Amino acid sequence: MSWKLIFEDNFDKPTIDLAKWSYDTGNHGFGNNELQYYTTREENIYIENSNLVIKALKEDYLGSPYTSGKLWTKGHFSFTYGYVEVKARLPKGKGIWPAIWMMPENIEVHGKWPSCGEIDIMELVGHEPNTIYGTIHYGLPHTYHGGKYCLEQGSFADDYHVFGLEWDKEGIRWYVDGKLYHEENYWFTKKQDGSLVENFPAPFNKDFYLIINLAVGGRWPGYPDETTVFPQEFIIDYVRFYQKR
């Protein structure tokens, strides 16, 4: 199989490349009762030693008890089918929630979330620092399926790992350090009344863009407690997208 590199960021410029990324900001909980305020400040998101660093801080900021950062390629780059690879070192601690995920460029096609589809390349809940999850969300009623990968030793905070996702019209496959750990090849998209919007492989047959963020708190990871150490850093070495030649 031959792949062509169509997008990459090695974070080797002194500042975030705004021709490739935009910031998502605010403190509205992002649908998960999260506690952080996403900012554009260099205290929270910056380039250092050819790495993108997203730093979660415990501080009062515009009504929120924590700050952090979130970037996406929305409006800059999106694609249908291919292989995504992100090399990163993850944070840890109760209530810490780093994520690499994808959403459709045109969210209205299948009637907003969840019927529009969501692809989670990598998520970690900080009280399980040796385990990452890959998941898809879709359909009405909301349906999700996925898998997980557990390190035999240590945690994902100890060193860099490569998180990969291969996506085509036949299925979606998740990788860690080149090792396949999960595959999905069935999903659907429906309206609230149960009628079919579009046959398989919808909704995962449209352009999706990439999102990288570090959340604090939320219904799934829970919330920080006295054991959680701040600051926490989500460090990304590179992002690459490939498509078949």
Report the CATH number that the domain containing residue 141 is assigned in CATH. 2.60.120.200
Q: Cα–Cα distances in Å, from 6 out to 3, 85, 191, 207?
A: 9, 12, 34, 14
Residues ≥6 apart with Cβ < 8 Å to 66 = 35, 36, 37, 56, 57, 58, 59, 216, 217, 224, 230
pLDDT of residue 141: 85
pLDDT of residue 112: 84
Active-site positions read 118, 123
pLDDT of residue 194: 65
| Residues of the domain holding 33 | 3-244
Residue 135 in tokens: 């998941």
CB contact at 8 A, 24 and 54: no
pLDDT of residue 196: 67
User: Strand, coil or helix: what is 4?
Assistant: strand
pLDDT of residue 110: 80
pLDDT of residue 1: 63
pTM greater than 0.85: yes
pLDDT of residue 84: 98
Per-residue pLDDT of the chain (245 residues; tens, 9 = 90+): 699 999 999 999 999 999 999 999 999 999 899 999 999 999 999 999 999 999 999 999 999 999 999 999 999 999 999 999 999 999 999 999 999 999 999 988 887 899 999 999 999 999 999 999 999 999 988 999 999 999 999 999 999 999 999 999 999 999 999 999 999 999 988 766 666 668 899 999 999 999 999 999 999 999 999 999 999 999 999 999 999 98
pLDDT of residue 68: 98
pLDDT of residue 197: 67
| CA–CA dist 124, 131 (Å, integer) | 7
> Which ranges in 79-185 belong to alpha helices (H)?
none
Place of tokens 């900012």: 39
pLDDT digits (tens, 9 = 90+) for 165-207: 999 999 999 999 999 999 999 998 876 666 666 889 999 999 9
- Encoded amino acid at 221, one letter: P
* Number of structural domains in the chain: 1
CB contact at 8 A, 126 and 92: yes
Instruction: Classify residue 31 by its DSSP letter.
Output: G
